[in-house]
Copies of this chain bind each other. A is one copy, B any other.
Amino acid sequence: MPNGKRAKFSFKYIADMEALFNFILKFGNLNRQQMDFIASKAKTLTLHKEAYFSEAGKIARQVGFITEGILRVCYYNNKGEEITKYFIDENNLVVDLESFDNEICSSAYVQAVTDCKMIVFSRKDWLELLQTIVGWDAIVHKIISRALMQKVERRSPLVSEDATTRYLKFMEIYPSAVNRIPLAYIASYLGVTQSSLSRIRKNIR
């Protein structure tokens, strides 16, 4: 890709792309040409607080990378309660895997908790990257495996702890996010009521 093409990136956009490649290159190597090809498929997306990145009942059609902000994945359990399954913050990939891979309707919402800036790839472009870039699939596999293991390791221990310990663990994992996420979402993530969480917060200080 000719250098000229770079000219149309805004300064901020270049910084975002850099964050994306910093992330990707932790999982494998790419040459300049491959990176440029990936960059050529990238689009930016701004999500306002509470907007959906993907929705239950619909097919996930894009892969995203968060450069700014926090998303959450949530669903409704059979009592009709809205449950936050997990949060995803800056410098992480976001994709509703099951839905995106198999082109089936999702059962979860992916929603912006705060205003978000993202880099996104359409399904078509993403598949093209997979077919074109040798080794890209291996990198993607590693990224996804790591993310899945992280989800297991983060959520699973909550089951066996009392409410206060759950909150303390939450703060360890998302220290910079605690103050940007509404109490109600954290409560549902931790499996406690809002009022309990409010009391826990009071007792901790």
Question: Which of B145, B190, B191 interacts with A161 by CB under 8 Å?
Answer: B191
For chain A residues 133-165, which have a beta carbon within 8 Å of chain B? 137-138, 141, 144-145, 148-149, 151-152, 155-161
Pick from A97, A157, A188 the residue with the most CB of B within 10 Å. Answer: A157
Question: Which of B148, B149, B160 interacts with A83 by CB under 8 Å?
Answer: B160
Query: Count of chain A residues with Cβ under 8 Å from any Cβ of B?
Result: 27
What is the distance, in angstroms, from A88's C-beta to the closest C-beta of chain B?
13
CA distance A45 to B151 in the complex (A): 31
For chain A residues 65-107, which have a beta carbon within 8 Å of chain B? 77, 81, 83, 85-86, 97-98
A97 nearest in chain B by CB position = B149
Determine the chain B residues whose CB is within 8 A of the CB of A138 once the complex forms: 137
CA distance A190 to B158 in the complex (A): 10
- By the criterion CB–CB under 8 Å, are B159 and A155 in contact? yes
CA distance A144 to B142 in the complex (A): 11
A162 nearest in chain B by CB position = B191
Enumerate the 3 nearest inter-chain pairs by beta-carbon distance, A residue then B residue, closest first: A148-B148, A159-B191, A160-B191
Which residues of A pack against B, CB within 8 Å? Answer: 77, 81, 83, 85-86, 97-98, 137-138, 141, 144-145, 148-149, 151-152, 155-161, 188-191
